[in-house]
Structure formats: structure tokens, C-alpha cells
Amino acid sequence: MDENRGTTPGGNDASLRVPPHDLHAEQAVLASVLLNNDLINGVMEVLRPGDFYQGAHRILYEAMVDLYDRGRPIDQLTLSAVLKDRNAEQQVGGLAYLSEIVTSVPISANVVHYARSVLELSRLRKMMLVAGDVVTVEPGLYRPGFGGCRLEDIVLVTESGAENLTDYPYDLAP
């Protein structure tokens, strides 16, 4: 018997599958706000920090929202200062990473499109998490013809659970 069967990327081991995400879209959202602070209003209508897949991006976005809430400009220096105050500068890659992401955005005018993409993938990850919980907690839940509930009922429970999730309890990104 092969000990590694189902444990390699691309195998059947669900624990090794990378959840859906788009780090470029996350970077584009952050960079767009850094380049044009006025864009944060549109982004805040779409995203919460927990919608970002990468932990560093969550930290950056939280700091940006905090700067905005305090009426301070959001730029590389003010953001770096907030991160230093929170002892989080190294967690996000410091000023070098901020400079890197600013050059990564194709066009900041598309920030709402990028934000919606991040949100859509966040919702998908949450659906997968809830669906996994449904299967783990109730493996015999779907048993057509044996008194189990219908597939539609499971989908409704899963969708309802995903809408109520706000954040992952842990960071799934490397």
C-alpha cells in the first residue's frame, strides 16, 4: 500500500487543497487605496478585513481602515507607522512590501472590481468551510430514500452558515 496516496498536491486529500483566493486582486485593492485614498469608501462598502485570504493583507487593510476612521492620510509612511505601533510591520513585509504592491496595481480605477473578486472568493472559502463542517458533523445527513433530508436542505443550511461566518479562526495562507 502506498503511504503517500492522497497526500500530495493534486491528490484527493482535502486538507492539502489550497482554498480559492487571488493574491493579485488583494494586492490591487490595497495598492489602489494607497494610490488614491478616496477609493477606500467604495472598498469599505464591499470588504471587511476577514475577506482577505492572506493574513498580511488583512493586517494592512485593518490599518488602512483605522487611518481612515481617524481622518489621517493613507500612504506608505502613515501605514508603516501604524504597523510599527502595532508591532506588525515585519508580519506584512515592512515598507519594502508596501512599495512592491503599489507597483503591482494595473489601474486603481478598477478597485471595486478587485474588491468584488476578493469578496466572491472569500464567500466561496466560507461556503467550503461550512460545507466541510456539514459533512464532518453530519456525514449521514444526505440519505435519499432513507429518511435523510434533501440535498436542497443541505445547500440552504450551508448557504446560511456561510453568510453568518465573519472570519476564519486561523490564517490559511502561507
pLDDT greater than 50 at residue 4: no
pTM score of the predicted model: 0.72
Kindly indicate the confidence band of residue 157, based on its pLDDT and cuts at 50, 70 and 90. Answer: low
46-50, 94-98, 155-159 — which is least confidently predicted?
155-159
pLDDT greater than 80 at residue 135: no
Dist CA 117 CA 52 (whole Å): 11
- Among 76-85, 143-152, 161-170, the range with the most confident prediction by mean pLDDT is 76-85
Dist CA 55 CA 17 (whole Å): 18
DSSP tag of 17: S
Would you say 144 and 150 are in contact if contact means Cβ atoms under 8 Å apart?
A: yes
Neighbour-count burial for 86-125, b at 16+ CB within 10 Å, e otherwise: eebbeebeeeebbeebbeebeebebbbebbebbbebbbeb
Q: Domains in the chain, please, with CATH?
A: 21-164 (1.10.860.10)
Q: Is 73 helix (H, G, I), strand (E, B) or coil?
A: coil
